[in-house]
Every structure is written in structure tokens, then in C-alpha cells.
Structure 1
Amino acid sequence: MPFLIDGHNLIGAMPDLHLADPDDEARLVERLQRLALRTGRRITVVFDRGAPGRARDRTSRGGVTVRFAPSGVTADALLIRILQAERNPRGLIVVSSDRRVQEAARRRGAQVWSSPAFVAYLRRALGTVESAAPGSEEKPEADAEGLEYWLRRFRARSAEN
């Protein structure tokens, strides 16, 4: 089953990622790519703050599609739109701790996982430092090429905001 993920909500549930970190989105996407490669599951992650200027509002790489909510639209609203447009919502696992998103997913018949439940799944699936205790300074090893790609994408987006 593919995952549809509320990106910033998930980052807030991860003990070693922080929303204030300028690279938080890229680091999350890099982990999701490793998960997609390991499990074969397709993953779509949605973030607030739309892609600026002429940048695309969606990009895909390594089994992960990243979508940015357009200006004036929240990630939660975009997630609900995606759910409403989904042809087979019963085939999705929606990852969010937001009640409104969870309710919309349940109404469409999708499975719902809270962000902490997904973090536990990610720890088991990757068997890496994501399982570190909160406050741990240890950082996971990243695929340098993949991480650099996402860092460039997110930095370009941030520079235009």
C-alpha cells in the first residue's frame, strides 16, 4: 500500500529532526527514499509553503513524490484534496496526527496511521539511528547524492520565499 504523508506533521514527531532545521524536509525525504527502496512502497509526502516562482509544486525521485501546497493552501487541505481525488483511497495509508486529515481519510476508507506510529514503523523498517532517543546528537548516514539533490531543491525554494 502506498503512503500519503503529512510532512511537517511527521517531522514534528521525529526525535532527531526539528522543524526549525533548514534541512529538515530534505532529511525526511532522504529517509523516505530509503524506506521506498527497502519496501517497494510508493510514498507521497506533502509540505506546506508552496514551491515559489516557477519551481514545480511536485517532484519525484527514488520512489518518493514531494508535493508542496500552493500559496494560500495548507498541506492539510492539499492532503484532503488528494484523498478526494484518489481513485482507490482504500489502498492508501495516510500518515498524519491531524484530526481533520484523519477523519477525511477514514471517510474515504483509507487506513490512518498517526505520525508517531509511522516513526515506529520507520525505525523498524530501516533499523537505523531513527530509533535514537530524543536529544541524541547522532545523525543517520545519508546517501550523499540523494541528500544533496533534496538540499538543493529545498534551498532554492527557500531562497525564493
Structure 2
Amino acid sequence: MPYLIDGNNLIGSVSPFSQHDPRSRLDLLGQLWLFQRTTRSRLAVVFDGPSDPELIAECRQWPKFELYFARPGEKADEVLLGLIQKSKQPGTIILVTSDRELQVKGKLRGVKLLTSQEFARRLKKILKEKRKARELHKPRFATSPLETKIWLETLTKK
């Protein structure tokens, strides 16, 4: 099921940086990339403001991950609604935003809704589970028989 995300709206719920700090977008996209890889979902993120060619180039390398920026004079909400209208199956889209007006317009077009706070909780849970799984699968270094023998000899010497 594809997620259509109001990026600026979600930053306030996820990123430790201010919405106007350039690091906030990078931080959010990094978290979303891990979410996408874990859930194998399609993601489209839309931001207001000037586009960032470096971020766009980076995200092009990520499968099932699309990044959009509103053009000058255009709002991200308009881009989000345009993507919903272009969809052949809007009922499969999960729109992530806390913008009430956008929620109403999305609902009228048949999308499912998640507030930014609800998605942030889901994101946090999945990232936490991913960290735990990585810890469980960390390589453990066992001592070789020779190392064991040397240690035993060293520790048993009088």
C-alpha cells in the first residue's frame, strides 16, 4: 500500500531539528528510507519550498521511493492532491498529514488517512524493532581453539 507523505508536516513529529533546518529533511528521509526498506512499501514524500538537487539525486537511487518539491507559487498540498487524482487506485493510498483541509480533500477522493503523529508512532516502532533485529544478528566473535588453549595455559600457570 503506497504512503503519500506531507513532508513538512511530518518533520514536526519526527525530526529533532527545526522545520527550517536543512538537516531536518535529510533526517526525515533517512528514517523514511529505513521504514520503506523494512515494510517494503511504496513512499512518495512531498515538501514545500525550494527543491534540493542533492536530495533528489540520492532518493532516485532508492527503489519504491519518490521525492517531490512544490514549484514556486505552488503548495505541497496541491502536489499531494494532484498525485491522488493521477492515481488509478486512490483507495490504496495512505495519506500522511495532520492538515485538516488536506485530510478532508483526500478523504473525498477515497484515500486512507494517518495523522503525522500516528505515522510517527508507527515509524518509531518499526525503527525500534529494526534496531533490535540488528542487535540479534550482530556477528559474534568466537575464540579459536588455539586462542582458547593459550588462554587456558596462561590462566592456569602458577
- If the TM-score is normalised by the length of the shorter chain, which range does it land in? 0.7 to 0.9
Q: CA deviation at 1:85?
A: 1.5
- Gaps of at least 5 residues in structure 2 are 130-158
State percent identity of aligned pairs: 32
Provide the rounded CA distance (Å) in 2 between the counterparts of 1:15 and 1:52.
18
Which residue number in structure 1 is paired with residue 13 of structure 2? 13
RMSD: 2.4
Contact 1:4–1:95 under 8 Å retained in 2: yes
Q: 1:15 to 1:68 in 2, by over 3 A?
A: closer
Deviates more, 1:84-93 or 1:43-52: 43-52
Q: Deviations over 1:4-51 (max 9, x none)?
A: 000000001226242132211111111111111011001000001143
Q: CA deviation at 1:109?
A: 1.0
Provide the rounded CA distance (Å) in 1 between the counterparts of 2:17 and 2:88.
33
Which residue number in structure 2 is paired with residue 109 of structure 1? 110
| Structure with greater Cα Rg | 2
Which residue number in structure 2 is paired with residue 42 of structure 1? 42
Contact 2:17–2:23 under 8 Å retained in 1: no
Q: Deviations over 1:74-128 (max 9, x none)?
A: 1111111111121110001000001121112111111000000000000111117
Provide the rounded CA distance (Å) in 2 between the counterparts of 1:115 and 1:47.
14
Which amino acid in structure 2 is aligned with residue 48 of structure 1? D
SS at match of 1:127: helix
1:112-123 correspondence to structure 2 within 5 Å: 112-123=113-124
Provide the rounded CA distance (Å) in 1 between the counterparts of 2:45 and 2:72.
17
Which residue number in structure 2 is paired with residue 86 of structure 1? 87
State the TM-score, normalized to the length of structure 1. Answer: 0.71
Aligned length, in residue pairs? 127
Contact 1:32–1:64 under 8 Å retained in 2: no
SS at match of 1:44: strand
Contact 1:83–1:104 under 8 Å retained in 2: no
Which residue number in structure 2 is paired with residue 159 of structure 1? none
- Gaps of at least 5 residues in structure 1 are 129-161
Q: CA deviation at 1:52?
A: 7.4
Higher relative contact order (CA 8 A, sep 6+): 1
Q: 1:25 to 1:108 in 2, by over 3 A?
A: same
